[in-house]
Amino acid sequence: MFSWSKRFFSLHLEAKMLAPHPASGTHHRGYSPPGLEKVSQHLYDTSELAKNRAKAQDVKESFECGREEDEAMPNIWLPDGVLPGFKEAALDFFWKCFELEKTILRALAVGFDLPEDYFVKFHTKPDNQLRLLRYPSVPLHALETNEVTRIDGHSDFGSITILFQDEVGGLEVEDPHHPGTFNPVPPIPGSVVVNAGDFLMRWSNDTIRSTIHRVRAPRNAVVTDGMVPERYSIPYFCGPDFSTVVDPTPGTWSADHPKRYEPISAAAYIMKRLAASY
């Protein structure tokens, strides 16, 4: 998939723009050129969002797709003949990742002493999103001073995210016990990173927190002429079926340790956060 991703992003901008991400973040499909998406952490007010965007642009480009038969969020592909084989490879990878997701969700349920299919039964469609990401090469200085950002601190808003990263590094995760302290998540060949998302945090009543993460300059950056190399990553966002209502699971709350979250509609929460990103 990384080699398809490189081939996709090597196309001319005009070719990539033949599969443009719509103006609204709530139809999260297709190609986003650098600067279009800006993640935020629970900012929803229009003027706050504008201020956040004005601080620094995220210098990344991305391509998003989901399952082919999703009517609420249809895929946006390149026209036939531009990069033949790309669509098939992306869909094939999408379904492979879904198998891995189910294995992880079963393991989580076992860990919570719940029936093995407890989480899997809310992840059937699946309402997931495969994202290809490229962070172009940028001056180390600009990244260190936050003049440009690769991706700002945020939590993912699904259940879990399965994340594949190349060897460049730069991913960091906030220590939940020391807010503001970020630790590197160095690439380990042959491994995947699994991020807990906001729904897993709610389901588990904070037993598993959704991690705030970001991408900065790699700590051991191989810098050539002051430039940090480009970076590729592939997050696969696993979300509950949009019709799900997420409520803390039995066993994670009691009379002395009450539920910290009200039940919430998966679709409503996801749409609210997507809308704030574009």
90 binds, among ligand AKG, Fe ion, none (CB under 5 to 8 A by kind): none
185 binds, among ligand AKG, Fe ion, none (CB under 5 to 8 A by kind): none
Would you state the structure tokens that stand for residue 202, as one six-digit string?
A: 């709610």
From the CB of 225, what's the least distance to Fe ion, in Å? 30
Q: Which residue number, 16 or 214, has a Cβ lying nearer to Fe ion?
A: 214
From the CB of 37, what's the least distance to ligand AKG, in Å? 9
Q: Could you give the CA distance from residue 219 to residue 133 in angstroms, rounded to a whole number?
A: 20
171 binds, among Fe ion, ligand AKG, none (CB under 5 to 8 A by kind): ligand AKG
Contacts of 48 (CB under 8 A, 6+ apart): none
Q: Could you give the CA distance from residue 2 to residue 167 in angstroms, rounded to a whole number?
A: 12
Q: Could you give the CA distance from residue 116 to residue 120 in angstroms, rounded to a whole number?
A: 8
233 binds, among ligand AKG, Fe ion, none (CB under 5 to 8 A by kind): ligand AKG
**What's the Rg (C-alpha) of the chain?**
19
Please report the DSSP string for 231-257 in residue order. EEEEEEEE---TT-EE-PPTTS--SSS
The half-sphere exposure of 156 on its side-chain side, counting CA atoms within 13 A, is 24
Q: Which residue number, 229 or 235, has a Cβ lying nearer to ligand AKG?
A: 235
Q: Which residue number, 120 or 163, has a Cβ lying nearer to ligand AKG?
A: 163
From the CB of 40, what's the least distance to ligand AKG, in Å? 12
Spatial CA neighbour of 237 closest among 140, 118, 98: 98
Amino acid at 135: Y
Q: Which residue number, 36 or 133, has a Cβ lying nearer to ligand AKG?
A: 133
Contacts of 172 (CB under 8 A, 6+ apart): 182, 183, 184, 185, 213, 214, 215, 216
Contacts with ligand AKG by CB under 6 A lie at 131, 133, 151, 156, 163, 165, 171, 213, 215, 233, 235
Contacts with Fe ion by CB under 5 A lie at 156
108 binds, among Fe ion, ligand AKG, none (CB under 5 to 8 A by kind): none
From the CB of 156, what's the least distance to ligand AKG, in Å? 5
Q: Could you give the CA distance from residue 252 to residue 246 in angstroms, rounded to a whole number?
A: 13
165 binds, among ligand AKG, Fe ion, none (CB under 5 to 8 A by kind): ligand AKG
What residues form DSSP beta bridges with 32? 62
From the CB of 218, what's the least distance to ligand AKG, in Å? 11
Q: Which residue number, 35 or 250, has a Cβ lying nearer to ligand AKG?
A: 35
